[in-house]
């Protein structure tokens, strides 16, 4: 048998009050006495009452739900952003619905459709690697729903964006590697069609030019930035007739895969090949050698993304200009790139 879902009317029947009074009590309405509120909460708990957010959204025009879309949740960066978004929004009475695209364009489209059907009050998103067509994001805008992008977002959307200085991140990394005596620096990047990875590539190339170092196409590699792909791309670099003496990887998971291969091949890291990752995942400080990486300040990104959404809730601020925040980064120098502890 299918168990009937408890409704507000069921609670009202138990207490012999009106469904309207139950609804007001559940929403902590000041016109309802504390005694009645407590009685309603207790009966709701006993009957395992679950609010119908969709019905509530249809009635009030507000679901108090915010969708959060990330490429993956098994990254410390994205999980930390999600945690901070939730902390900030919970304080304002909002709950979040988390979806992950797994870097799939189709799954990202499906997630957006599901969130729109759920009547979310806003969407905070970081795009999948596969995303090129932005029409599913334009759909959000066309419905008048606030859209905030973070980390990965495209300027063409003209929406709120929170991220880091990706161009300068590459400058910091190349400068550091040059200081360590590296002269042939490879770059395992994301797909250049994605703005943040394109900015990192530009920063890498411009930094090499500034240091009068050669730019070689064979040293500039695109990747999906998984551990497996990091291993594949590192083997590709080691097969070159003239190997690099440093590798800059724009993701710590791919950097971990690269490090695994270097260790398996008994290549001294950093003295033969220096290695730098990106994202400052917790494991980067725990492996041997520890991996130099970029700290992206995930908690601040999450906080600013949540605040960017909340400005739309404040009717006095709805007409404000779009939020565009670019945060500075920090290079955390560790053993994988510090030659002779320089």
Same domain, 214 and 335: yes
pLDDT band at 27 (very low <50, low <70, confident <90, very high): confident
Same domain, 185 and 226: yes
Q: Is 55 a domain residue?
A: no
45 and 6 in contact (C-beta within 8 Å)?
no
CA dist list (Å): 2 to 48, 138, 213, 219: 15, 40, 70, 61
Q: Is 57 a domain residue?
A: no
Q: Is 172 a domain residue?
A: yes
Per-residue pLDDT tens digits for 162-219 = 999 999 999 999 999 999 999 999 999 998 888 899 999 999 999 999 999 999 999 9
pLDDT band at 290 (very low <50, low <70, confident <90, very high): very high
Mean pLDDT check: name the lowest of 22-31, 175-184, 256-265.
Answer: 22-31
**Total number of domains in the chain:** 3
Query: What pLDDT does 194 receive?
Result: 86
Query: What pLDDT does 342 receive?
Result: 47
273 and 244 in contact (C-beta within 8 Å)?
yes
- Residue ranges making up the domain that contains 237: 166-295+331-341
As a whole number, mean pLDDT of residues 66-93 equals 93
Same domain, 290 and 302: no
CATH number, residue 122: 3.40.50.2300
CA–CA distance, 45 with 86 (Å, rounded to integer): 24
pLDDT band at 267 (very low <50, low <70, confident <90, very high): very high
Non-local (6+) Cβ contacts of 106 within 8 A are none
Residue 1: pLDDT over 90: no
The tally of CA atoms less than 13 A away on the side-chain side of residue 339 is: 16
Same domain, 120 and 228: no
């Amino acid at each position: 048998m299918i168990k009937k879902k408890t409704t507000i009317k069921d609670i009202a029947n138990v207490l012999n009050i009106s469904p309207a009074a139950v609804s007001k009590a559940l929403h902590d309405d000041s016109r309802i006495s504390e005694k009645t509120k407590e009685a309603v909460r207790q009966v709701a708990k006993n009957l395992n009452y679950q609010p119908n957010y969709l019905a509530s959204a249809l009635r009030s025009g507000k679901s108090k739900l915010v969708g959060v879309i990330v490429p993956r949740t098994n990254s410390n960066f994205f999980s930390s952003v999600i945690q901070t978004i939730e902390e900030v929004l919970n304080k304002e009475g909002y709950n979040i619905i988390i979806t992950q695209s797994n870097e799939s364009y189709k799954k990202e489209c499906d997630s957006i459709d599901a969130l729109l059907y759920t009547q979310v009050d806003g969407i905070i998103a970081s795009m999948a690697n596969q995303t090129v067509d932005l029409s599913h994001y334009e759909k959000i805008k066309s419905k008048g729903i606030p859209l905030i992008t973070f980390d990965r977002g495209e300027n063409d959307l003209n929406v709120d964006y929170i991220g880091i200085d990706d161009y300068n991140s590459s400058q910091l990394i190349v400068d550091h590697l040059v200081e360590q005596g590296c002269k042939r620096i490879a770059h395992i990047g994301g797909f250049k069609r994605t703005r943040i990875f394109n900015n990192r590539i530009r920063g890498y190339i411009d930094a090499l030019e500034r240091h009068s170092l050669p730019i070689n196409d064979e040293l500039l590699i695109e990747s999906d930035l998984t551990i497996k792909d990091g291993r594949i791309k590192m083997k590709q670099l080691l097969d070159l007739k003239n190997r690099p003496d440093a590798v800059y990887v724009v993701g710590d998971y791919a950097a971990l895969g690269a490090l695994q291969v270097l260790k398996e091949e008994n290549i001294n890291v950093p003295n033969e090949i220096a290695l730098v990752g990106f994202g400052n995942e917790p494991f980067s400080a725990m492996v041997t050698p520890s991996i130099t990486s970029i700290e992206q300040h995930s908690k601040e990104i999450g906080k600013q993304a949540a605040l960017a959404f909340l400005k739309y809730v404040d009717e006095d601020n709805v007409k404000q200009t779009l939020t565009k925040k670019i945060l500075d980064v920090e290079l955390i120098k560790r053993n994988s790139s510090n030659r002779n502890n320089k």
